[in-house]
Amino acid sequence: MAMTERLYHLDPYLKEFSARVVRKTGQGVVLDRTAFYPTGGGQPCDFGTLNGVDVTDVVEEGEEVVHVTTGAVDGEVRGVIDWDRRRDHMQQHHGQHMLSEAFVRVAEAQTGSFHLGAEGCTIDLDKEVAALDVERAETLANMVVCENRRVQVGYYGMEEAKGLPLRKPPPAVVGRLRIVTVDGFDCQACCGTHPRTTGEVGVIMVTGLERQKGATRVHFVCGFRALREARENARVLRALTGKLSAGRGEIEKALDRAQEDFADTRRRLVAAEKKLAEHLGKELAARGTVVVEAFEGKDLEYVRAVATQVAAVPGRVAILAGTGESSCLVLSRSQDLGTLDLRPIFKDAIQAIQGKGGGTPHFVQGGGPGKDVRAALKAAEDRIRANLGA
């Protein structure tokens, strides 16, 4: 086992470097020195190339850094870091440090853990933090960005580190602790890559909050991600103001109005359908004793209304089905056909649509995912006609 020299710790701005392959592993190569940051300490790894071959993963194995590549790499190599990806990680990671410290100062909330994701980042705070305090912490962190304070990295022994204003107790490590400080603001043990000044982080933007009992998850993005977020928000807002013909300040009201209109229209539609169903029920009852019908695109509520109307006429049985979002079956009979129990008939017939349901001897209803309502109607009709001798 060799020890890989970590060039990214000496210079986090190093984008190209030369090195030598010292060992090949099953999935990649170990170099004598590297500027590729391996996944660790909450920061995702770098991508890039070694002699033009893509590096798709970088992992730490003991003292070594293993570069997973898409092809063979040997001998002397030229390494190139995907700088856009690295700069993005530096912006998110350093932004996290500042936001975590801001939450300590504003709300005495400590960061239990954090996650730098491919899309967004999160900080998990150890208490419930009010929305106003979240805004205050966001403002404070951005203030420190604007002041463009110096960021320094130093190495300390465990005893020395005890005298530092560390945000969290440092992890127990063998050897020296790597401490990242923001002048007069933050001090934290960390192995990640950080910028020289806070200004390089760019805007720190909180994008969401999740409050649970005794904890808060803060979603955030920094730098160019914040720019992309703001751009996307502006695009969506432009589309909404266009669709709703309302300015930004009126959007919420316009949407409330549109939803009320929709609910009102729906209520009127339901009332009209009910009237239609009643009318239809009367018409069907005039046909004869046993009324069998399937309604396409109609749901249980509609079919039930028709069935009720049919059975309101003495000496009638309604055997009705609907094929709305799912299939439904309704059996209903007049009160004067007192000996006919529809429940066992329904129980068998509903099998045709793999459905469930129930009711009283004179009214049963149910639905299922099956499509063959004709088979269900036929099964019920045969039994009912046999029963009535009709």
Instruction: Give the residues lining the site for Zn ion (CB under 5 A).
Output: 190, 192
Smallest distance, Zn ion to C-beta of residue 180, A? 6
Residue closer to Zn ion (CB basis): 182 or 284? 182
Residue closer to Zn ion (CB basis): 190 or 376? 190
**C-alpha span between 383 and 349 (Å, rounded):** 9
Residue closer to Zn ion (CB basis): 156 or 241? 156
Nearest to 74 by CA among 55, 38, 49, 50: 50
Smallest distance, Zn ion to C-beta of residue 150, A? 17
Residue closer to Zn ion (CB basis): 113 or 354? 113
- What is the SS3 string spanning 109-155? CCEEEEEECCCCEEEEECCCCCHHHHHHHHHHHHHHHHCCCEEEEEE
Which residues lie closer than 8 Å to 355 by C-beta, 6 or more apart? 327, 328, 329, 366, 367, 368, 369, 370, 376
Smallest distance, Zn ion to C-beta of residue 190, A? 3
Residue closer to Zn ion (CB basis): 36 or 302? 36
Residue closer to Zn ion (CB basis): 170 or 192? 192
Angle at the Cα of 303 from the Cα atoms of 299 and 305, rounded to 5 degrees: 120
Q: Which residue is nearest to Zn ion (CB)?
A: 190
- What is the SS3 string spanning 89-101? HHHHHHHHHHHHH
As separate numbers, helices (DSSP H) first and strands (DSSP E) second, the chain gives 9, 20
**C-alpha span between 10 and 193 (Å, rounded):** 10
Smallest distance, Zn ion to C-beta of residue 97, A? 6
Residue closer to Zn ion (CB basis): 65 or 151? 151
Residue closer to Zn ion (CB basis): 190 or 277? 190
CA dist 266 → 209, 252, 253 (Å): 34, 21, 20
**C-alpha span between 250 and 42 (Å, rounded):** 42
Smallest distance, Zn ion to C-beta of residue 179, A? 10
- Burial state string for 69-99 with b = 16 or more CB within 10 A and e = fewer than 16: beeebeeebebbbbeeebbbbbbbbbbbbbb
Smallest distance, Zn ion to C-beta of residue 188, A? 6
Smallest distance, Zn ion to C-beta of residue 232, A? 27
**C-alpha span between 52 and 59 (Å, rounded):** 19
Smallest distance, Zn ion to C-beta of residue 96, A? 7
